[in-house]
Amino acid sequence: MRTSPNVIVTGTPGVGKTVHCEQLAQEIGLKHLSVNQVAKDRDCYETYDEERKSWVVDEDKLLDAIEDEVLQGGYLIDWHACDLFPKSWIDLVVVLRCPSTAVHYDRLASRGYHEDKLQENLDAEIFGVLLEEAREAFDEEIVVELNSEEDGDVDSNCARVTQWVNNWKKQHGETD
């Protein structure tokens, strides 16, 4: 039985997943698991998509690569998708949203995203694709939607997640 929860922090590129995970890792001591970094470090790719200029992750290989760690608990899983993870691995799904198309566009443009990839990500955000995927893949009560648009949002979002983690630990017998 895990003594610390596993939390997925998901959302389209540019909504602040990594910033949130880094701050939460410092504040509550969970380990930041960047799926992009794991895929690179452990060669979990199927192929390279020339059109999108990005690698396509081999999801089965990725899950095999992280299973032993994640099953121990205590991870902040940082990735743009959540529906590949088994329900039994995950205790909370945080879907970060950036409602302002202008803010989101600027964030993606500053990363040098190709126009097609930029537009695809903006469309996914506008239509709430990742929120819908989360709600379909996990029980509704563990899926939380948080805005990540303004400067103060990171601190307030991290405070909410920290409170949730502390409550989870109390309910599961760990005292801090």
- Is 16 part of any known ligand binding site? yes
- Say how many C-beta atoms besides its own lie within 10 A of residue 146's C-beta: 20
Q: How far apart are CA 168 and CA 108, in angstroms?
A: 34
Determine which helix (DSSP H) or strand (DSSP E) holds 151, and give its type and residue range: none
- 111 labelled binding-site residue: yes
d(CA 143, CA 141): 6
| 19 known ligand binder | yes
- Tell me: is residue 11 an annotated ligand-binding position: no
- The DSSP 8-state label assigned to residue 128 in this structure reads T
Binding site residue list: 14, 16-19, 111
Binding site residue list for ATP: 14, 16-19, 111
